[in-house]
Amino acid sequence: MTSALNVVPEKSDVSTGVGDTEAMARGLENMLADTYRLIFKTHAIHWNVEGPMFFSVHNLTEEQYSEMFEAADVIAERIRALGELAPASLQSIVANSVVQDKEDPQSAGEMCEDLAADHERVAHRMHAVIKVAGGHGDPVTEDLAVARATFHEKAAWMLRSISKS
């Protein structure tokens, strides 16, 4: 192998004024884990929803998982910008997420309610990251967490609105 292929990723020191970059990266890792779990769960609902609300739920979930997929890259890149390594295993994603799977088939309304509750849990965790980022002088992570919490709160509202039909 050439020496270019022998480079192993590693943590780096950053000097941007952010206090405790490791703690900030842990919060971002949780955000990333929740995002990936929600991507899969949202995609599964997109594939499996049936009934009179099919079209609405199918289209809304496609918009949501597409937006979250793009956000996952932004979150991982922020972890790297803080000098830490982004998660590299599915096991760490599952272990660090508050999102839980449902095993039994659900109605379209139940799917929407369950997914809305997950979005609310994730938004709550992002509020915690916002506070920690503010305390560690990390306005970039704070802004990122605000944007992500905004998305999840809106997603929960939209899903709950559909589930009332």
- In the chain, domain spans: 18-96+106-163
Enumerate residues 6+ apart whose C-beta is below 8 A from 119. 38, 152, 153, 155, 156, 159
pLDDT at residue 10, as a whole number: 61
Q: Given pLDDT bands bounded at 50, 70 and 90, which one contains residue 164? A: confident
At residue 3 the predicted structure's pLDDT band, cuts being 50, 70 and 90, is confident
What is the helix, strand, coil percentage profile of the chain, to 5? Answer: 70, 0, 30
pLDDT digits (tens, 9 = 90+) for 43-87: 999 999 999 999 999 999 999 999 999 999 999 999 999 999 999
**For position 29, what pLDDT does the model report?**
97
Asked if 82 and 10 touch (Cβ cutoff 8 Å), the reply is no
Closest residue by Cα to residue 75 from 30, 42, 117:
30
**Under CATH, which architecture does the 18-96+106-163 domain have?**
Up-down Bundle (1.20)
Per-residue confidence (pLDDT) for residue 22, from 0 to 100: 87
Q: How far is CA 89 from CA 22, 51, 66, 86, in A?
A: 18, 36, 21, 9
Q: Return the pLDDT at 7.
A: 66
Region 18-33 average pLDDT: 91
Cα–Cα distance list, 104 to 39, 40, 110, 156 (Å): 19, 16, 11, 21
d(CA 31, CA 33): 6
Only one residue has tokens 């905004």, namely 150
Model pLDDT for residues 110-143, shown as the tens digit of each residue: 999 999 999 999 999 999 999 999 999 999 999 9
